[in-house]
Structure 1
């Protein structure tokens, strides 16, 4: 395998890891939003039981509805990101698979790096594998966007 091909695959992995870190940040935002929704829901229920002022409850319900819409949109975005991540992982595994085992067993630092990520990606790829129905919906949504 040429140095150019190896560098290309390493750049793919680097970009993949950057996207993965961004997805991780989005996931933590999702969890934070989920906790805020839960707290707001309990606050609304507590105020309704106390028969507090109606305008304040309506204001809280409007806040809850806005956050719930953001929650649903973020959920769909994260789900879409997981599916695209799975496709990217498969592509990288195929690209690394083009490297011969003799090259991967080489003591070169880049080859050791590739060998390490090949095993990691293969182990974790099944964890994020979407169902067939989700993959079809993802493919259809991509076709619609491209038109």
Structure 2
């Protein structure tokens, strides 16, 4: 039995095919998934729903998912950002949040979600602001793709 089985995950992704792919990956990991494809729907879910984890696409059409992130911070719900732009695509205030490099791939998704549940992912920044070592990042702190994941 894996750590992710039965966990409720809020998936915020505005591209329908990408959302279906990510949802399938999460279901394969044993998660119960709630998908929100627009900012207003995601905010409503984050306000009223009970989630163990969340996966947030950074860019939602002409909006960003930062208001959802702020709400999840308040509710102490662990989350990660998913983006094709990597960490450099994030506003400074969110740079400590774990980033899943798009396109979605199962191995790094599972790895980061497990790290979020064990509390490892939130303590990613070490003394002096440098990123700590992790199998999902290069020594320079850049996210790596699944084919390089250990």
* Superposition TM-score tier, normalisation by shorter sequence: under 0.3
Q: Which has the larger radius of gyration?
A: 1
With structure 1 as the length reference, what TM-score do the two structures score?
Answer: 0.22
Compare the two structures and name the one with the higher strand fraction: 2
Compare the two structures and name the one with the higher helix fraction: 1
With structure 2 as the length reference, what TM-score do the two structures score?
Answer: 0.22
